Amino acid sequence: MAAFSHVFDKTSLREYDIRGIVGKTLHPADAFAIGRVFGTIVSRAGGGRVAVGRDGRLSSPELEKSLVDGLVASGMEVIRVGCGPTPMLYFASYDQKADGAVMLTGSHNPPDYNGFKMMIGKRPFFGKDIQTLGAMAASGDVVAETKGSSREVDVSESYIERMVKDYAGGPKKLNVVWDPGNGSGGAVTERLVKRLPGTHHLINAEIDGTFPNHHPDPTVLKNLEQIIAKVKETKADLGIAFDGDADRIGVVDGEGHMLFGDQLLVVLARDVLKSHPGATIIADVKASQVLFDEVAKAGGEPLMWKTGHSLIKQKMAETGSPLAGEMSGHTFFADKWYGFDDALYSAVRLLDILARSDESLADMRKALPQVINTPELRFDCEEARKFEVIEEVKARLAADGAKVQAVDGVRVLTEDGWWLLRASNTQAVLVARAEAKTEEGLERLKALLVHQLEASGLAAPDFSGQNAGH
């Protein structure tokens, strides 16, 4: 048999996953190669069992078959958990005592995309790990072909049971709308809500890889229009939406207002800090100053960290943090849970808090300090240039004596508030954001940001009409 060797499309090896357009930059041969090399990595680390899951995309069954074939050819015992949310696959890696895990998912990308998220042992497989996998595939650095095995295991019941165990609840019977967005979390959500008290309305629960109702990204207001309408129609207490593989959550209160990821984290953190006083609560660099202030006020130790779910998980493990979150809706519980991002579990914990509280979610949101901010603004910048721009801006700010937090890009503090500029780890774009206490202050912050971009020869993004209350 010919020696194994495979070269991936250079755009598919990303920071946090391997991802591409099916039939163009991602093919079954890529899936086989991932299995062949990842199986080799697990084998050389002394492991032999890999859990595999897939989302509801039309291309997922074929790609999953090739992935499993590659793992089996590397001698792995493959546990196939079938179609479901990414966090169910993470759960399976613990439940089935796997040495590695691979989830086949395009997450919140358009229907023609697909990809692979991985875990090695109990940690995320990302960054240099993914580059190493690509290099090993190109050089044919794999264990000798041998015959492993594969079997199907249904972990969905164990997963649901384990989530419900952490719902203590209270006297309040909640009225909740759920929108899994036709993503892979739909079937599990339908079963989960039957175990929870209260009234539950589901929309877009059917798993459909064409996403016929709206794009499955719950952090974009346009994608929440259906759930907001249903919340108002049913006079619900809140609405909960998931992305395509249910590792990111979007929340709407009973008045139809979207909660940003950092606002949700405030609600969750206050509760977690009651049983973990003084604990470190982690949020990414894009989060509002309100979040960090409210965590401190609740007796926690707020920690600003780099954006990226793999980086956050790694930092949680280092610091022993019981809770973390990102503006993108990734929410991570290590309090009672496993430390991975899980939108379904986060929903259960949120409902548990609300069932025990005298306040509604809308009351909690309105009680937070009000600030004005821009949403996340993304604009094109060549891959080779994006990190250079950040270094140039950093140098100019240092020369000006500006107050800068340089955890991930530059977050500049002024009397008005703050502005942020960072390079995306996954795309050829720069990401900007600003937050102030007043409209006038926000305009001043935007002007500072525009000045720095122009000083590096870049046209500033269009900020017009971009302000939002928070």
- Say yes or no: 36 and 175 in one domain: no
Which of 334, 367, 400 is where one domain is finished? 367
Q: List, by residue number, the catalytic residues.
A: 107
End-to-end CA distance of the chain: 61
Range 57-72 average pLDDT = 98
pLDDT (tens digit, 9 = 90+) per residue, 290-332? 999 999 999 999 999 999 999 999 999 999 999 999 999 999 9
Query: Is 80 exceeded by the pLDDT of residue 439?
Result: yes
- Number of domains making up the chain: 3
pLDDT the model gives residue 1: 47
pTM of the model: 0.95
Looking at residue 274, which CATH number applies to its domain? 3.40.120.10
Percent of the chain past pLDDT 90, that is, above it, reads 93
pLDDT (tens digit, 9 = 90+) per residue, 201-224? 999 999 999 999 999 999 999 999
Does residue 25 form part of some domain?
A: yes
Identify the three-state secondary structure at position 195.
coil
427 or 463, greater pLDDT: 427
Tokens, residue 93: 């890696």
pLDDT the model gives residue 108: 87
Does residue 241 form part of some domain?
A: yes
Tokens, residue 70: 């590659």
- Say yes or no: 341 and 213 in one domain: yes
Please give the mean pLDDT across all residues of the chain: 95
At CB < 8 A and 24+ separation, what contacts does 233-236 make? 234/175, 234/177, 234/199, 234/201, 235/175, 236/175, 236/176, 236/177, 236/201
- Say yes or no: 293 and 275 in one domain: yes
Which of 350, 367, 384 is where one domain is finished? 367
CA angle 180, 186, 192 (to 5 degrees): 105
**Domain interval for residue 110:** 18-154
Tokens, residue 61: 């069954």
- Say yes or no: 90 and 187 in one domain: no
- Say yes or no: 323 and 403 in one domain: no
Tokens, residue 247: 């590792």
Query: Is 60 exceeded by the pLDDT of residue 356?
Result: yes
- Say yes or no: 427 and 315 in one domain: no
Identify the three-state secondary structure at position 179.
strand
Does residue 269 form part of some domain?
A: yes
Tokens, residue 406: 């340089």
Range 159-169 average pLDDT = 97
Residue 312 near residue 339, CB atoms below 8 Å: no
List, in order, residues 6 or more apart from 48 with CB less than 8 Å away.
42, 75, 76, 77, 99, 148
Range 128-153 average pLDDT = 97
- Say yes or no: 191 and 252 in one domain: yes
Looking at residue 457, which CATH number applies to its domain? 3.30.310.50
Q: Kindly compute the dihedral angle of the four CA atoms of residues 341, 421, 260, 15, in this order, to the nearest 10 degrees.
A: -20
Tokens, residue 280: 């470190």
Report how far residue 247's alpha carbon sits from residue 96's, in angstroms, rounded to the nearest whole number.
Answer: 20
Which of 367, 384, 403 is where one domain is finished? 367
Q: 283: pLDDT confidence band, cut at 50, 70 and 90?
A: very high
- Say yes or no: 334 and 192 in one domain: yes
User: Strand locations in 161-296, DSSP E?
Assistant: 175-179, 199-202, 238-242, 249-253, 258-259, 280-284
Half-sphere exposure of 160 (CA within 13 A, CB side): 17
pLDDT the model gives residue 165: 98
Does residue 451 form part of some domain?
A: yes
pLDDT the model gives residue 466: 59
